């Protein structure tokens, strides 16, 4: 037991201050073979905290507690560490349509190494005033929503104007301090599906009333533990892969993921790649060209090379993991030369980082 506590303490410290450990791989693409999550087509909000100085609180967020952007040697990039007791939410809220997705990477932490029952909350709701974090909206009698918690267990409790409606718990879904996870939320009208890494942990077909409109998302902190997040992405709509590719001849995808400056396809891309592979299998005469695009950060030549390598990696995954004939696929990259939005905000840069599939 003492050895286990010591290891746990090292994991927590390593995640926060940057010690290097092995054995934290999230798995290859095949580990996600039952993962059916497909992210929304249009990016509405994105924050990877690269535009926030380390040690500062990010400008797009607000809090009744505290927090700061940090880095660590265990996982690359900037991370937003939420600290204290209270909540952290989008500064102005975000009015969402009836179909949308939310995703983020998270490293949970516990202040006390003996705190094996740590957890934090994530709420999706309709507030009377999304800027009023003390009113919050996350209580019955207001507009409705769902309160979820993650950590030593996963729970949910939904409510509307009259009171709590449904609740549940998944004791088999746990998190460990210092490890990285991917949480994904898929809302389609009244239905909510929640995924932890490649596993669907909740599927609630009638959790929201018809016409319910989310306008705020927030993290709830309980002092002894909390989340450290990055790559927080909200997107709307479900991409119509078949129509876009076969009829319009062009599919723009934001559901294929890479680490910063890397060309290895991340396993959470599985749902999107499977959808594209299914279209190709059902239409064996169709040939495509895969084109990678980047934002304008970094040198032009490096971005061009990176986009070409990413296009080739997507092709390789379709061939290797899904059995598509390589002769049916070409690949290329155009770097930062064909932006679809100004490279002036993190959300617009996320729009420019994309993979396009062109029918030949």
pLDDT tens for each residue of 344-357: 988 899 999 999 99
Give dist(CA 239, CA 268) in Å, integer.
Answer: 16
Examine the pLDDT at 243 and tell me if it is beyond 50: yes
pLDDT of residue 137: 58
- Predicted confidence (pLDDT) per residue in 156-176, tens digit: 999 988 888 999 999 889 999
Comparing C-alpha atoms, which of 246, 334, 340, 321 is closest to residue 290? Answer: 334
Q: What letter would DSSP give residue 141?
A: T
Strand duo 42-47 + 225-236: pairing: antiparallel
- Are the C-beta atoms of 118 and 225 separated by less than 8 Å? yes
pLDDT value of position 23: 36
The helix or strand, by DSSP H or E, that contains position 202, with its residue range, turns out to be strand 199-204
- How confident is the model over 111-156, as pLDDT tens digits? 876 667 789 999 999 988 888 888 655 676 578 899 999 999 999 9
Predicted confidence (pLDDT) at residue 16 exceeds the cutoff of 50: no
Q: Quick check: 318 and 280 in contact, CB under 8 A?
A: yes
pLDDT of residue 133: 87
The dihedrals phi and psi of 319, each to the nearest 5 degrees, come to -75, -50
Among the ranges given (38-42, 80-84, 131-135), the one the predictor scored with the smallest mean pLDDT: 131-135
Q: How far apart are CA 120 and CA 191, in angstroms?
A: 23
Q: Report the alpha-carbon distance of residue 174 to residue 118 in Å, rounded.
A: 10
pLDDT at 220: 94
The model's pLDDT over 312-336, given as tens digits with 9 standing for 90+, comes to 999 999 999 999 999 999 999 999 9
Q: Say what the pLDDT of residue 34 is.
A: 80
Q: Strand, coil or helix: what is 328?
A: helix
49-75 tens-digit pLDDT: 999 999 999 999 999 999 999 998 889
Asked: is 241-359 a CATH 3.30.1330.60 domain? The reply is: yes
Gap between the Cα atoms of 6 and 53, Å rounded: 32
β-strand 288-293 against 329-333: which pairing, if any? parallel
Tell me what pLDDT residue 7 has: 40
Parts of the chain belonging to CATH 2.60.120.560? 2-236
Residues of the chain with CATH 3.30.1330.60: 241-359
d(CA 4, CA 12): 12
Mean pLDDT of the chain: 88
pLDDT digits (tens, 9 = 90+) for 207-229: 999 999 999 999 999 988 899 99
Mean pLDDT, range 281-304, rounded to an integer: 95
Instruction: Give domain 2-236's CATH architecture.
Output: Sandwich (2.60)
Average pLDDT score over residue span 80-100? 94
């Amino acid at each position: 037991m003492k050895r286990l506590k010591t290891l746990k303490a090292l994991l927590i410290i390593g995640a926060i201050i940057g010690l290097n450990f092995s054995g934290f791989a999230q798995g290859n693409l095949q580990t996600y073979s039952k993962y059916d999550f497909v992210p929304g087509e249009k990016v509405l909000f994105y924050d990877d905290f690269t535009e926030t100085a380390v040690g500062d609180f990010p400008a797009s967020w607000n809090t009744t507690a505290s927090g700061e952007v940090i880095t660590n040697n265990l996982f690359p990039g900037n991370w937003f560490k939420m600290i204290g007791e209270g909540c952290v939410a989008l500064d102005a809220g975000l009015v969402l349509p009836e179909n949308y997705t939310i995703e983020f990477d998270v490293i949970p932490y516990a202040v006390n190494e003996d705190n094996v029952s740590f957890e934090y909350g994530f709420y999706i709701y309709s507030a009377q005033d999304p800027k009023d974090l003390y009113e919050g909206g996350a209580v019955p009698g207001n507009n409705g929503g769902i309160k979820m918690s993650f950590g030593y267990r996963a729970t949910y409790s939904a409510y509307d104007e009259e009171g709590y409606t449904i609740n549940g718990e998944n004791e088999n879904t746990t998190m460990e301090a210092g490890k990285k996870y991917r949480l994904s939320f898929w809302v389609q009208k009244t239905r909510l599906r929640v995924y932890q890494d490649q596993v669907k942990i909740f599927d609630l077909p009638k959790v929201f009333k018809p016409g319910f409109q989310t306008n705020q998302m927030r993290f709830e902190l309980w002092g002894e533990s909390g989340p450290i997040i990055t790559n927080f992405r909200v997107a709307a709509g479900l991409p119509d892969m078949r129509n876009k590719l076969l009829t319009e001849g062009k599919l723009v995808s934001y559901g294929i993921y890479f680490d910063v400056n890397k060309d290895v396809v991340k396993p959470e891309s599985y749902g999107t790649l499977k959808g594209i592979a299914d279209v190709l299998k059902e239409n064996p005469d169709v040939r495509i060209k895969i084109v990678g695009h980047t934002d304008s950060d970094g040198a032009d030549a490096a971005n061009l090379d990176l986009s070409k390598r990413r296009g080739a990696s997507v092709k390789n995954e379709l061939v290797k993991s899904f059995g598509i004939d390589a002769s049916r696929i070409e690949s290329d990259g155009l770097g930062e030369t064909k932006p679809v939005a100004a490279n002036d905000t993190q959300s617009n840069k996320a729009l420019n980082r994309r993979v396009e599939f062109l029918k030949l």
